[in-house]
Amino acid sequence: MILVTGGAGFIGSNFVLDWLARHDEPVLNLDALTYAASPANLAALQGDARHVFVHGDIRDRALLDPLLATHRPRAVLHLAAESHVDRSIAGPAAFIGSNVLGTGTLLEAVTAYWRGLPPAARAAFRFLQVSTDEVYGDLPPDAPPATETQPYAPNSPYSASKAAADHLVRAWHHTYGLPVLTTHSSNNLGPYQFAEKLVPRVLACAWAGERLPLYGDGLQQRDWLDVDDHCAALRLVLQAGVPGRRYNVGSGTSRSNLALVQALCAELDRLRPDPAGPHARLIHHVADRPGHDRRYALDTTRIRQELGWMPQRSFEASVARTVRWYLDHPERLASAVSAGPP
C-alpha cells in the first residue's frame, strides 16, 4: 500500500485515479477536505476496496501514528498543501499551518514509523515531497531555466511555505536518514482543478458569457504540463529516483497567461461556438496581484536523462482535453462562475 496525502485535490485525485487504473496496489488516501478538495473527484472509486479514504489532517499526530501502524504503507506521497497564491496573500497563516507545520508533523510521524520497519522494508521505503517551480522565484527573461541546484527565492506566502516544507524534507534526510525524494512541477492542465484557478475560472466565465479576468498585461510566462504527464513522473520518481535528490518536472512549453487564455478561447470556439462572437472578446485585464512573478521555467534534464521521463501530451492536446472535460462536466463550470479572480 502507498499513502497519498491530499488525494482529493486536483493533482492528488488525478494521481490516485491514474495509480489504481494501472496498479492493484491499494492507496490509503488522507485528505482534510478543505475548500480545494472534493470527494466527487474520486466518485469513480466508490466501492473499490483498493481505495481507502480517511478524512483527516496531516497536523493531527494522534491520527497519523495509528494510521501508519495499521496500514503500513511502503511509501508516502505528500501532495497535501494549500496552493492558491491569492489566498496565501489574503491569509498566509493557513499556508504556514498546513504547508509548514503540517509537513513537519507528517515527517515526525513517518520517521517514527519508518524506524520501526524491518531492515528490508526500511531500506525500500520512500517519502516523496511534491513541490512547485515557484520556490525558485521569478526568473529574468534571459535567464536559463532553473535547475535543481538553483537557489530558492520564493516571493509569495504560498511559495515561501512550500520552500520551507522542502527544506524540512531535506533536513529530515540529512539528519535522520529518511529516504526522501522531491519533485518540482510546473503549472498543470487537466480535469478536477479547483474552481478558483485560472483555467477553470476562464472556462466558467466564457461558458457563462462573462468577462474573463486576467491579471495585469497577461504576459507572465508559465510552463504548462498535462497532469497525466505529471502523474507519470511521480510514479517514475517513486520507483527509480535517488533518495535525497530533487527532480524538476515540466513540459518545456512556455506560454504567457494571455496566450493560454487565448488557446482556451480558441478551443471553446471550436467546440462550443458563441453566436455573439469569439470567446477571446471577453478577455478583461484586471489590476495585477501584489508581487506577481513574471516568469517560471524548469530545466528537466535530470529526470529525462536519469529516469527516462518525457511528457507525452502536447500543450495543444492538453488544452483540448481539458476544455472537453469541463464542457462534459458543466456542474464544475457552474461552481466556478461565482469564484474570485484566478
Tell me which residues are annotated as active site: 133-134, 158
Burial of 52 (0-12, 13-18, 19+ CB in 10 A): middle
Output the CA angle 15-208-196, nearest 5 degrees. 40
Give the C-alpha separation, 28 to 74, whole Å: 11
Q: Residue 8 has what DSSP assignment?
A: T
- The candidate with the shortest Cα–Cα distance to 12, out of 76, 106, 79, is 79
DSSP string, 228-266: HHHHHHHHHHHHHPPTT-EEEE--S-EEEHHHHHHHHHH
CA distances from 262 to 272, 315, 342 (A): 15, 13, 15
Q: Which grid coordinates are listed for 281?
A: 472578446
